[in-house]
């Protein structure tokens, strides 16, 4: 057996190093590839390290099996797929090798020189370096084009982020392949420039340095700074706690020392860090659940300093060209568990963010005020943060909604950007068609932001909200160039309504849950076209059941019902390739589109078939049925306006307040106690 992806086959993956992170990387590979029969081999010269690494991996698998995260068969396959050995000969036939040894250029160079002698010419060589430039790591290789850095983050089997860092000699096609591969197996990759530390570690280690300097300056203790940092930057754990958890003192000490010459002169290892490394001590931090009281004046000073350092560090990365605003905003939040920096600066005001950075720079020699922040802050101009990626392929614009933390959920920013993207496509003569899809393998779009519902105060506001959502989707439907929806994962609520506004829909064939309109569970009705487009696409009987019960359908059922027109076997890359082909066929008139008919429905019944509502609100169901039946007798455009009025009407119901509050407080699986009024 093997894992096939874009013309490459993986039968064996090698991990070199069984220390802090190697076993976790191996565990991730086992999770993803064990069911394809791929062998994962972990090699180390230390038998003691191998024993520790194997014990660590097996313990995590057992814990996952016990919690139900892994089925019994999956856990067994994972255990059987991984081998820990000191025999480097086991790597000779590996197609993909990830080195996770000590952060030492000489050692890494020796490892890859040995692998180059052993392995096939087309084997991929990757270093899980956290700092070293790939040009330096691989400088001794004859075939530098098949090598690059893939930087995992702690804990590697669960943290979704990876940095893909090509050298100047890396084959560009290989970097693109790995970006696609990692997205297809559940990670969130970003491409970073080949500067020491790449895009994210200078932020992580720089925030730690700022925290340590506050302690050295006597502003607060490690425990106090740690506690304030969580509130100031949105952290789950503070910078000192993070160092304790990751064992990061030694590598951070080295990293900060090198940043001094490779980035800017503010960077340096604080004296308290040097002492902690020399003594092998851990930081004093708040215990789990401990409340740390900090004098308000000191807490304010700590907050301002940390935010000034944080904003300056992130903006400098963008200024340097190592990364961009969109990637940094997403990656800092996911990898480092901090507030997304550019959205954070927008929320505070870019002028205020600039003031904080200038104040920090004036008190700390060598700390720069990045040009991109000066430009925006002096003008009071917010940063533009893209949530929809665009990549054109031979006349087809591929639009990818990328909000992985919330499974690509829609918010006002996405609706607004969707309008902008459609305008771009309409105006671009080089574009003949478009594909709309989502990032990753879990979701096309998981729905709309529920929290905005809680802010709707009256029917008029509810109607306006519905009309605004409809406007964005109507622009998709009304685009003069065909738009194909590629369901890469599930589509719930507003996500499925967005898909139905597209001119054609295809989906991955293996999706057991593809689409649903779960609005009745929240005490509302669809407000972005669901009550009008779904009956026109699948008929009254099917639409009535799905709309009124919220039941999801699989890809196979969606095809049978007519919601989608084609299923695609394979990966999300295969799906997108097929979607591009279909988009071209539509643009060239070689295929009929599958939009919801624009006219009234001629077979509208007087009433909908009965369904079992269970706990769902009868009051909401009454409004929903009216929207479906009355709207079906109207042209689609008028039916949508009716739906918006009905959405406003349902916002006046007591059950809407109950359903939304229950969802926010207890989650989507909790059944609300509706009162049917």
Residues with catalytic function:
497, 519
The answer to whether the beta carbons of residues 498 and 436 sit under 8 Å apart is yes
> How remote is the C-alpha of 375 from its chain's centroid?
28
The answer to whether the beta carbons of residues 492 and 594 sit under 8 Å apart is no
Residues in the chain: 677
Query: By C-alpha distance, which of 91, 131, 83 is closest to 111?
Result: 91
Provide the angle, in degrees to the nearest 10, between the axes of the packed helices 201-216 and 325-336: 60
The answer to whether the beta carbons of residues 490 and 442 sit under 8 Å apart is yes
Per-position DSSP letters for 500-564, written without gaps between them: HHSSEEEEETT-SS-EE--GGGGT----SSHHHHHHHHH-HHHHHHHHHH---B-HHHHHHHTS-
Residues 305-335 as b/e (b if ≥16 CB within 10 A, e otherwise) read: bbbbbbbbbbbbbbbeebbebbbbbbbbbbb
For residue 116, how many other CB atoms are within 10 A of its CB? 18
Structure tokens at 1: 């057996």
Distance CA 458, CA 647 (A): 11
Q: What angle do CA 427, 429, 431 make, to 5 degrees?
A: 95
For residue 597, what is the DSSP state? P
For residue 614, what is the DSSP state? T
- Give, for 579, the enclosing helix (H) or strand (E): helix 572-587
Q: What are the φ/ψ torsions at residue 256 (nearest 5 degrees)? A: -65, -35
- Ramachandran sector of residue 601 (left: φ over 0; alpha: ψ -120 to 50; beta: rest): beta
The answer to whether the beta carbons of residues 458 and 484 sit under 8 Å apart is no
> How remote is the C-alpha of 370 from its chain's centroid?
27
Reported in sequence order, the residue ranges of 90-176 that DSSP labels E, i.e. its strands, are 96-99, 124-127, 147-152, 161-166
613: cis peptide before it, omega within 30°? Answer: no
């Amino acid at each position: 057996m093997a894992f096939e992806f874009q013309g490459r086959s993986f039968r064996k993956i090698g991990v070199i190093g069984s220390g802090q992170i190697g076993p976790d990387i191996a565990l991730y590979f086992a999770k993803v590839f064990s069911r394809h029969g791929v062998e994962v081999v972990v090699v180390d010269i230390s038998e003691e390290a191998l024993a520790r690494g194997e014990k660590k991996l097996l313990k995590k698998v057992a814990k996952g099996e016990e919690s139900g995260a892994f089925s019994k068969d999956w856990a067994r396959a994972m255990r059987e797929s991984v081998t820990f050995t000191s025999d480097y000969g086991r790597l000779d036939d590996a197609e993909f090798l990830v080195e996770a040894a000590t952060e030492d250029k000489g050692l890494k160079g020796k490892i890859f020189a040995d692998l180059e002698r052993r392995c096939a010419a087309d084997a991929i060589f990757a270093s899980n370096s956290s700092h070293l430039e790939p040009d330096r790591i691989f400088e001794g290789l004859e075939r530098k084009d098949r090598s690059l850095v893939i930087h995992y983050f702690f804990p590697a089997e669960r943290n979704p982020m990876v940095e893909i860092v090509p050298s100047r000699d890396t084959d560009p096609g290989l970097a693109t392949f790995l970006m696609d591969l990692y997205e297809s197996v559940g990670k969130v990759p970003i491409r970073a420039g080949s500067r020491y530390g790449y895009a994210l570690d200078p932020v992580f280690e720089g925030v730690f340095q700022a925290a340590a300097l506050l302690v050295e300056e006597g502003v607060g203790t490690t425990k106090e700074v740690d506690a304030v940092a969580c509130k100031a930057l949105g952290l789950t754990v503070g910078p000192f706690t993070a160092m304790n958890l990751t064992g990061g003192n030694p590598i951070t000490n080295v990293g900060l020392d090198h940043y001094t010459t490779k980035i800017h002169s503010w960077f340096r290892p604080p004296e308290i860090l040097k002492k902690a490394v020399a003594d092998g001590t851990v930081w004093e931090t708040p215990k789990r659940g401990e409340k740390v009281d900090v004098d308000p004046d000191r807490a304010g000073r700590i907050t301002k300093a940390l935010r000034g350092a944080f904003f300056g560090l992130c903006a400098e990365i963008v200024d340097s060209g190592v990364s961009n605003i969109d990637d940094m905003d997403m990656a800092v939040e996911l990898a480092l568990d901090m507030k997304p920096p550019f959205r954070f600066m927008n929320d505070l005001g870019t002028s205020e963010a600039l003031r904080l950075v200038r104040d920090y720079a004036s008190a700390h020699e060598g700390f720069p005020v990045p040009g991109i922040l000066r430009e925006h802050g002096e003008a009071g101009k917010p940063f533009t943060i893209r949530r929809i990626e665009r990549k054109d392929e031979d006349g087809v614009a591929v639009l990818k909604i990328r909000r992985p933390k919330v499974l690509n959920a829609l918010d006002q920013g996405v609706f607004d950007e969707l309008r902008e993207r459609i305008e771009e496509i309409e105006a671009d003569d080089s574009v003949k068609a478009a594909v709309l899809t989502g990032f990753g393998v879990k979701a096309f779009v998981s729905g709309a932001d529920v929290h905005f519902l809680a802010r709707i105060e009256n029917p008029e506001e509810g109607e306006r909200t519905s009309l605004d959502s409809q406007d964005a989707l109507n622009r998709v439907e009304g685009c003069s160039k065909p738009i194909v929806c590629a369901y890469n994962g599930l589509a719930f609520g507003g996500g499925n309504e967005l898909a139905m506004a597209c001119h054609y829909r295809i989906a991955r064939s293996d999706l057991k849950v593809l689409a649903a309109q779960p609005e009745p569970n929240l005490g509302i009705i669809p407000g972005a076209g669901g009550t009008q487009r779904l009956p026109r696409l699948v008929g009254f009987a099917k639409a009535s059941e799905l709309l009124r019960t919220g039941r999801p359908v699989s890809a196979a059922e969606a095809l049978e019902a007519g919601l989608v027109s084609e299923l695609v076997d394979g990966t999300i890359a295969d799906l997108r390739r097929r979607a591009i082909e279909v988009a071209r066929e539509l643009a060239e008139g070689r295929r009929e589109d599958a939009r919801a008919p624009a006219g009234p429905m001629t077979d509208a019944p007087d009433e909908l078939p009965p369904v079992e509502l269970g706990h769902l609100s009868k009051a909401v169901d009454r409004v929903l049925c009216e929207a479906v039946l009355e709207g079906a007798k109207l042209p689609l455009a008028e039916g949508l306006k009716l739906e918006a009025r009905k959405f406003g009407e349902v916002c006046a119901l007591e059950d809407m307040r109950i359903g939304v509050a229950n969802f926010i407080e207890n989650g989507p699986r909790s059944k609300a106690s509706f009162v049917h009024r």
